[in-house]
Structure 1
Amino acid sequence: MRSATVSSLLSLPFLASAWLPGEHKQIVSRDGIDLFNRSSLYEHGLTKRSPGLPEIGDQVKVRGVNLGSHFIVENWMASTVFSGFGCKSDSEFDCVSSLNDQGKADSDFQGHWQSWVGADDFKKMSSLGLNTVRIPVGYWFLESIVDSSEHFPRGGEKYLDQAVQWAKDAGLYVIIELHGAPGAQATDAFTGQVNPSPGFFDNYNYDRACKWLEWMTDKIHSNPSYSTTGMIGLVNEPVRIGDSKYPNAQSQTDSMRRDYYPKAWTTIRNKEDSLNVAKDQQVHIQMMDKKWGSGDPNEFLPDQSFWHAAYDDHQYVKYTDAEVSHQGYIDFSCADDRSGNWPTIVGEWSLSVNSDVEHNSDWDPNNEANKDFYRKWFAAQIMAYERGQAIGWTFWSWSTSGLNDPRWDYQMGVDAGIILSNLDEAYTIGAC
């Protein structure tokens, strides 16, 4: 339900032409469906009116999924991909290095990019009431900025263009974010490489990241396939202040906010100016919300109106202090306040539970006795991520391979009956 606070913010002059779908710019699929308009969804039979649905207006919030492990493979959620290549690795860098054959690596990954998703996946997203796809991408897709000592697959650009085109055809809003930054912004495989320490936080790698952002901005405004792409994420999940893994996090995050964010912001806007992009057609520039723990991203931004700024908030309840019980999880999410920076999209979340209990029978998502819990918890999270300063969400992730857990796999979750196929039912099934 849209709050009065959000409604008043939307009326502010500097936000009046914001490139957010549905609010100010319509996105219509090749079949003529506006996935951000509830009446259009009813008309085309993509969702049903739920008896007792509260008045939440005709405008649909951002409701989407991530293309996890499509362009940055993570072994924990796509183990069959790397095993199919013949590499026993956690990250793409290590996989390519272990193959010791760049040609084979390129061929293997291109086969993966051709098969992980297809046009029908994006049509299926829209048929389930989703309207947005978040696409994680590594810096190595711009091959000119990859150093000779860095080992990544090549040839990915055309597959990225293809995926974005499929999303456009389905009427989906697209968020593209720099998930794997040069040098790695953390020591986890989601960056594409498992470095002993984060190497992103210096001017050399900031410059390389900005070249990637400039390249992506040019694509968005020059390539018709990208006409429904309206947001660029500057960096995914950088180190957090206070995390014991990162003793230099304070200075690293200070550098990121002081040096990288303003440079990245200016790079994108300068490229748009050079392309004569009208102000109301500029992309949203997304940074990690201050709740992430890397400081306030607005602190050093050059444009104090923060024109077309957006924020990325990740909330994995399994890693919080929520009471580890069915009702405890539901209560936690019902009360969850994602207020921070505005506008925020909860860009990553799932139905995965505390690791100590996730394999217990009374948490098994395939056990019929637990499905009502998971449906209600899914609903509670949706409602939390669609209210206040949170303008919607993208679930992690659309598909997995080898993991066989519907709590991480949207399609499996729908098939298992723990993810709602009619998303508006979240407001009527009595979760909160």
Structure 2
Amino acid sequence: MRGSLLSLLTLTSAVSAWLPAERGLFKSEARSLSIGQGRSLTKRFNPDKIRGVNLGSLFIVEPWMMSQAWGDMGCGDQKSEFDCVNKLGQDAADAAFKKHWDTWITEEDMDKMKEYGINAIRVPVGYWMVEELVDPSEHFPRGGLEYLDRLAGWAASRNMYMNLDLHGAPYSQEIHQPFTGQYSEDAGFYQTSQYERAYTFLQKMTEHIHKTDAYRTTGMIEVLNEPQRTHDTLIPEYYATAYGKIRETEASLGVADDKKLTIQFMAESWGAGNPRTAVEGKTDVAFDDHRYLKWASIDQSKPSYIATSCGDTFGGNDNSPIVVGEWSLAVDDAQESNADWEPQGNKDWYKQWWGAQVQAYEKGLGWFFWSWKVQLGDDYRWGYRQAVEAGVISQNIDDAAGLAKC
């Protein structure tokens, strides 16, 4: 997380062909803002940054963030999708998950995103979206691709950029993490046979994106979310080959250079090595940093949070251009319920911290908040929509720098 803004902007134009700015995706638009007493003000917006949200728990459920819906699906006592499908049986699970996909994110949600100034979505998916990759011993819901196609079409019709993120890898890339789709005791992904399954996923989805009109605003594919930090083969074998496989697929389809996907990797700041070493000299790449100060090695105090966010920089060791792919308003576990930190009584401070984070992350390509919606009662710190409705996140994201008071 080092590097100057000047060098970052220079690299952005040089190495990334299919990012929103290159196609003018975030074109100027007029929006009416309420100014009270039934009056409105028309203002023109033309952000050149990704201002996005993750659609967490849509295609990979994390039970902690949607306990009510998880219970309604019949999965309440299960830790992951794998466990729930195994419990319910394949047919019953397929029906339950299709109902979830139909209701967790709707067109009304997409319209709200646009109303709130969101111009991009990051969509976490598992390798089982390509159903031929699922072994007989594995248990995952079927039929998700139809709903992913629909979502991509919704985004395209609203001129919203989409990043498809391989969040759940074969045999799991991390232990005890439902975000992988399975609450696994072992991270079995880091072997050639499982890498091969991931390559197939990336190639199949790359082909699907380029051949399916609904994906016309899908410009980025992330090869792996949050890998473990201790595997020597991750970068030289998996990252390097994943890049090559995606480009081979595009070459076989005759994809023009300006229509190639931007291929994204977790940045060196994640701690699993420097991905740039695997793609040195390659074009159309981007990097992903996840910034959760609740787990950072900083003084866990309000002044420290503001100072850290105000001064944050990204993209060191040539890990540019960079997107902050996950962040939130969540704070230290030991303090989150204390009177000085609880969400309802400290809205002004959370509003300032939101602004401080936005102004920092827009030093790079932009950001994706985690997540669009949650089921956590009146705690808005993980849910963008809830935070807007609580008056903590401004509907005019351009307000961020002023609110930050950096």
Same fold, judged at TM 0.5 (above): yes
- Secondary structure of the residue aligned to 1:366 is coil
Match of 2:393 in 1: 419
Work out the CA distance in 1 between the residues paired with 2:13 and 2:53. 28
Match of 2:299 in 1: 323
Work out the CA distance in 1 between the residues paired with 2:372 and 2:193. 34
TM-score normalised to structure 1 length? 0.87
Work out the CA distance in 2 between the residues paired with 1:365 and 1:342. 34
Contact kept in structure 2, 1:365 and 1:416, CA below 8 Å: no
> 1:424 deviation in Å?
0.5
Work out the CA distance in 1 between the residues paired with 2:171 and 2:404. 46
Match of 1:30 in 2: none
Match of 1:89 in 2: 78
> 1:75 deviation in Å?
0.7
Aligned counterparts, 1:237-276, within 5 A? 237-240=226-229, 249=230, 252=231, 254-276=232-254
Out of 128, 148, 151, the position equivalent to 2:116 is: 128
Contact kept in structure 1, 2:170 and 2:189, CA below 8 Å: yes
> 1:58 deviation in Å?
5.3
> 1:305 deviation in Å?
2.0
- Secondary structure of the residue aligned to 2:65 is coil
- Secondary structure of the residue aligned to 1:363 is coil
Work out the CA distance in 2 between the residues paired with 1:189 and 1:380. 30
**Residue 7 (structure 1) aligned with residue 3 (structure 2):** no
Per-residue CA deviation, residues 226-246 of structure 1 (Å, 9 max, x unaligned), is: 000000000000002xxxxxx
Work out the CA distance in 2 between the residues paired with 1:150 and 1:135. 22
Match of 2:265 in 1: 287
Match of 2:200 in 1: 211
Q: 1:315 to 1:107 in 2, by over 3 A?
A: same
Per-residue CA deviation, residues 57-87 of structure 1 (Å, 9 max, x unaligned), is: 9552111000000000001111112211222
Contact kept in structure 1, 2:155 and 2:162, CA below 8 Å: yes
Q: 1:403 to 1:343 in 2, by over 3 A?
A: farther
Q: CA RMSD in A?
A: 1.8
> 1:310 deviation in Å?
0.7
TM-score normalised to structure 2 length? 0.92
Match of 1:243 in 2: none
Unpaired runs of 5+ residues, structure 1, are 28-35, 49-56, 241-248
- Secondary structure of the residue aligned to 1:45 is strand
Give the counterpart letter for 1:193 in structure 2. Q
- Secondary structure of the residue aligned to 2:53 is strand
Out of 31, 50, 53, the position equivalent to 1:44 is: 31
- Secondary structure of the residue aligned to 2:337 is coil
- Secondary structure of the residue aligned to 1:197 is coil
Out of 144, 169, 182, the position equivalent to 2:157 is: 169
Work out the CA distance in 2 between the residues paired with 1:191 and 1:430. 34
Q: 1:11 to 1:147 in 2, by over 3 A?
A: closer
Give the counterpart letter for 1:20 in structure 2. L
Work out the CA distance in 2 between the residues paired with 1:294 and 1:128. 34
Work out the CA distance in 1 between the residues paired with 2:85 and 2:378. 25
Q: Number of matched residues?
A: 390
Match of 2:358 in 1: 382
Contact kept in structure 2, 1:76 and 1:90, CA below 8 Å: no
Out of 97, 100, 111, the position equivalent to 1:112 is: 100
**Residue 229 (structure 1) aligned with residue 229 (structure 2):** no
